[in-house]
């Protein structure tokens, strides 16, 4: 069942994508084939479980598509009906995932959609009589995986008297590749067996062109049904799409592999100390050098391994994105708005943890965009915008990060309104609020309690605010910001790490604790004599090269010690000079311990809300090292 849910989602996504294309361009043959295949496979899978309403509804959808494939003109409305069925399947998958069963009204809901599909296809019966397509009988199990034309021949009971030999007729069919003969009705008491009453159903598959098969059966055409068999079902789609060789592996195993790789990195770092210790021994220089070169080799291999494991964990965003069109349609429908959803960048691959963790925050933002962003139709018309709102969800890779944006063309966010709201809700005083520039004012929306909607409705504003979105992004090691222009729209931007990457850290001590700092922001370490320190206003600074650099006592920021003033030790301070938010800042620390590579883990539990912490990692001795986010510490 778990497998079915995973594959079901994929097939729903495939079908939805193709249907969306077909609604725009009803004559897209590739999309029609793709969608037909997805629905056909989906229908096949329902047979393995007790999902009769789903199977029946999909069968109707398949028939409608088959008729269009066979030549009946397809209209956008037809595909919209099929999409409705696919959306229903997606909802049912939600129910199956949650309760393990279809909802009680599944039968009625399925029937209603089937009826609409029949209405959408007035020409269906006619078209089918002309060119029947998919078998509407249960194919013999022996025929699974064959392609060609399926033949079902039910000779009349009196056909022997009429001089027909059904077996000879079938045997004369060109390119016969499979045959099955079964009794039409159970044999019953053989005491009364009538050798001249035909009681057979003959099924066969032929690879010959349709016309030749029809010619072979022309004398008994009224007793024969023909249908196209789609090749190689279930599983690999026939032709067209490139099949990726994939292996489904339990995520827990990959996680375990990831943890092992992380720990290997940690264990490897221990070798550096060992090499230094060996070099310090009398006569240990050669051994130390050898250890170092081995360490460097191991370093590279472990780095590669870590990267490879990280790649295994990569998953495309497509399945995540694919869930949004339906949810957007439903939400927009509930709000009485017309909205177009554009998705872009589904092919981008990011760590599976991030894909999984993004659904809730992205959905929340998407709902906000539909509810609060896109205006009601009248207001859009008045503003000279197209009636249908546009929401774009895009993903793009930016170095080792992925940027995901949810942009709408709605009313945007008015900084003044946010300021007022912040004052009204007691988040900020009037003066403080007015002192904020527009960008910071808009950012207030992420403050707990502020974005909770004043009116609660079914779509958004269920008491869950944007603070939850920001927290979710932080848990994934990323950030979320909001921008936009009043009247033009809003953009919510997530910036997330693509993989659980190795970060180079500088380890420092201060206030008796060890901390990690991201090495890439560190410019230099220096010893600054006390007499080089100047006091500017209440802050301390020092001259570094050509500029004056503010000095921050890291001990004070991390709250490790109540001792605020500089502790003069030999009249000089150990200072780490780093780029923070585009400026050089000096951080006074007690000592610089060394450097290490670490797999940064997002903080969880009690620490997850702590400001100024970027994550944690394990030290070679097994202790936990907290890694500081300098920019956040200073803000």
**Position among 56, 109, 131, 200 found at the interface with other proteins (CB under 8 A):** 200
Q: Which residues pair with 354 in a beta bridge?
A: none
Q: Is 171 in the site for other proteins (CB under 8 A)?
A: yes
Please identify, using beta-carbon distances, which residue of 188 and 449 lies nearer to other proteins. 188
For the bound state, the minimum distance from the C-beta of residue 167 to other proteins, rounded and expressed in Å, comes to 4
Does position 412 interact with other proteins (CB under 8 A)? The reply is no
**Stretch of residues binding other proteins (CB under 8 A), selected from 59-67, 183-191, 291-299, 319-327:** 183-191
Q: Return the range that interacts with other proteins (CB under 8 A); candidates 120-128, 190-198, 249-257, 310-318.
A: 190-198
Burial of 326 (0-12, 13-18, 19+ CB in 10 A): buried
Options 158-166, 341-349, 363-371, 618-626: segment touching other proteins (CB under 8 A): 158-166
Check binding of 240 to other proteins (CB under 8 A). Answer: no
From 341, 343, 395, 402, select the one nearest 373 (Cα to Cα).
Answer: 341
Q: Which stretch binds other proteins (CB under 8 A): 68-76, 160-168, 222-230, 386-394?
A: 160-168
Residue 462: which region, alpha, beta or left (left: phi > 0; alpha: psi -120 to 50)?
A: alpha
Binding piece for other proteins, criterion CB under 8 A, among 62-70, 171-179, 399-407, 601-609? 171-179
Q: Using a CB cutoff of 8 Å and minimum separation of 24, what contacts does 257-262 make? A: 257/309, 257/312, 258/309, 258/310, 258/313, 258/500, 261/302, 261/305, 261/306, 261/309, 261/599, 262/306, 262/500, 262/599, 262/601, 262/618
Does residue number 191 form part of the binding site for other proteins (CB under 8 A)?
A: yes
Nearer to other proteins, 167 or 305 (CB): 167
Q: Which of 193, 259, 347, 530 binds other proteins (CB under 8 A)?
A: 193
187 binds other proteins, rule: CB under 8 A: yes
Least Å distance between CB 198 and other proteins? 7
Question: Binding residue for other proteins (CB under 8 A) from 195, 211, 283, 582?
Answer: 195
Say how far apart CA 464 and CA 443 lie, in whole Å: 16
Distance between CA 422 and CA 284 in Å, rounded? 65
- 134 belongs to the binding site for other proteins (CB under 8 A): no
The values of phi and psi at residue 256, to 5°, are -60, -45
Between 194 and 222, whose beta carbon lies closer to other proteins? 194
* 3-state class (DSSP) for residue 187: coil
Asked whether 550 and 539 are in contact (CB, 8 A), the reply is: yes
Under the criterion CB under 8 A, does residue 185 sit at the interface with other proteins?
no
CA distance 224 to 70: 18
Question: How many residues interact with other proteins (rule CB under 8 A)?
Answer: 27
The Cα–Cα gap between 548 and 533 comes to: 10
> Which are the contacts of 50, defined by CB distance < 8 A and separation ≥ 6?
none
Task: Give the residue, chosen from 99, 185, 189, 378, that forms a contact with other proteins under the rule CB under 8 A.
Answer: 189
Q: Is 198 in the site for other proteins (CB under 8 A)?
A: yes
Question: Tokens 């079908």 belong to which residue?
Answer: 15
Q: What's 385's DSSP letter?
A: -
Using CB under 8 A as the binding rule, whether residue 387 contacts other proteins is answered as no
In angstroms, give the least distance from the CB of 163 to other proteins. 8
> What are 460's two structure tokens?
């958004």
The footprint of other proteins (CB under 8 A) covers 155, 160, 164-168, 171, 176, 178-183, 186-191, 193, 195-196, 198-200
């Amino acid at each position: 069942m778990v497998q079915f849910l995973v594959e079901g989602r994929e097939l729903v996504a495939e079908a939805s994508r193709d249907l969306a294309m077909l609604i725009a361009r009803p004559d897209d043959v590739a999309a029609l084939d793709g969608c037909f295949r997805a629905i056909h496979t989906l229908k096949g899978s329902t047979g393995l479980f007790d999902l009769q309403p789903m199977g029946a509804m999909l069968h109707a959808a398949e028939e409608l598509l088959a008729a269009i494939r066979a030549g009946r003109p397809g209209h956008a409305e037809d595909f919209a009906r099929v999409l409705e069925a696919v959306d229903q399947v997606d909802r049912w998958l939600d129910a199956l995932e949650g309760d393990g069963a279809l909802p009680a009204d599944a039968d009625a809901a399925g029937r209603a959609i089937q009826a609409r599909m029949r209405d959408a296809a007035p020409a269906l019966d006619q078209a089918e009589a002309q060119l029947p397509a998919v078998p509407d009988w249960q194919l013999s199990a022996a025929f699974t995986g064959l392609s060609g034309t399926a033949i079902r021949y039910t000779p009349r009971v009196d056909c022997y008297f009429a001089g027909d030999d059904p077996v000879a007729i079938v045997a004369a069919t060109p390119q016969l590749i499979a045959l099955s003969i079964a009794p039409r009705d159970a044999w019953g008491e053989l005491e009364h067996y009538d050798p001249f009453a035909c009681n057979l159903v003959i099924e066969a598959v032929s690879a010959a062109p349709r016309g030749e098969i029809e010619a072979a059966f022309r004398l008994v055409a009224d007793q024969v049904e023909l249908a196209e068999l789609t090749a190689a079902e279930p599983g690999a789609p026939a032709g067209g799409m490139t099949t990726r060789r994939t292996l489904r592996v339990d995520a827990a195993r990959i996680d375990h592999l990831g943890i092992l790789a992380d720990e290997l990195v940690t264990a490897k770092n221990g070798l550096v100390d060992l090499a230094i210790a060996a070099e310090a021994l009398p006569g240990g220089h050669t051994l130390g050098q050898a250890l170092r070169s081995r360490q460097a080799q191991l370093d590279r291999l472990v780095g590669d391994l870590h990267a490879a494991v990280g790649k295994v964990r990569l998953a495309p965003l497509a399945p995540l994105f694919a869930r949004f069109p339906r949810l957007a349609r439903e939400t927009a429908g509930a709000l009485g708005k017309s909205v177009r959803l554009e998705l872009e960048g589904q092919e981008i691959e990011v760590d599976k943890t991030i894909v999984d963790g993004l659904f809730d925050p992205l959905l929340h933002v998407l709902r906000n965009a539909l509810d609060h962003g896109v205006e009601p139709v009248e207001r859009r018309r008045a503003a000279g915008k197209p009636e249908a709102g546009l929401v774009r969800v895009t993903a793009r890779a930016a170095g080792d990060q992925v940027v995901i944006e949810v942009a709408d063309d709605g009313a945007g966010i008015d900084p003044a309104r946010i300021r007022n709201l912040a004052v009204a809700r007691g988040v900020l005083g009037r003066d403080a609020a007015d002192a904020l520039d527009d960008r910071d004012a808009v950012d207030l929306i992420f403050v707990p309690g502020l974005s909770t909607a004043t009116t609660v409705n079914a779509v958004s504003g269920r008491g869950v605010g944007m603070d939850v979105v920001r927290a979710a992004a932080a848990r994934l090691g990323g950030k979320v910001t909001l921008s936009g222009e009043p009247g033009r729209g809003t953009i919510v931007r997530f910036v997330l790490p693509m993989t659980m990457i190795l970060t180079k850290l500088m380890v420092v001590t201060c206030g008796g604790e060890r901390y990690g700092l991201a090495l890439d922001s560190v410019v230099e370490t220096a010893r600054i004599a006390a007499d080089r320190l100047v006091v500017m206003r209440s802050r301390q600074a020092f001259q570094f090269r050509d500029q004056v650099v503010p000095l921050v006592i890291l001990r004070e920021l991390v709250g490790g010690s109540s001792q605020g003033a500089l502790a003069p030790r030999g009249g000089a301070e150990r200072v780490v000079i780093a780029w923070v938010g585009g400026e050089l800042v000096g951080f006074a620390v007690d000592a610089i311990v060394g450097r290490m590579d670490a797999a940064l883990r997002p903080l969880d539990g009690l620490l997850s809300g702590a400001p100024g912490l970027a994550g944690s990692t394990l030290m070679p001795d097994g202790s936990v090292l907290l890694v500081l986010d300098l920019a956040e510490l200073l803000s």
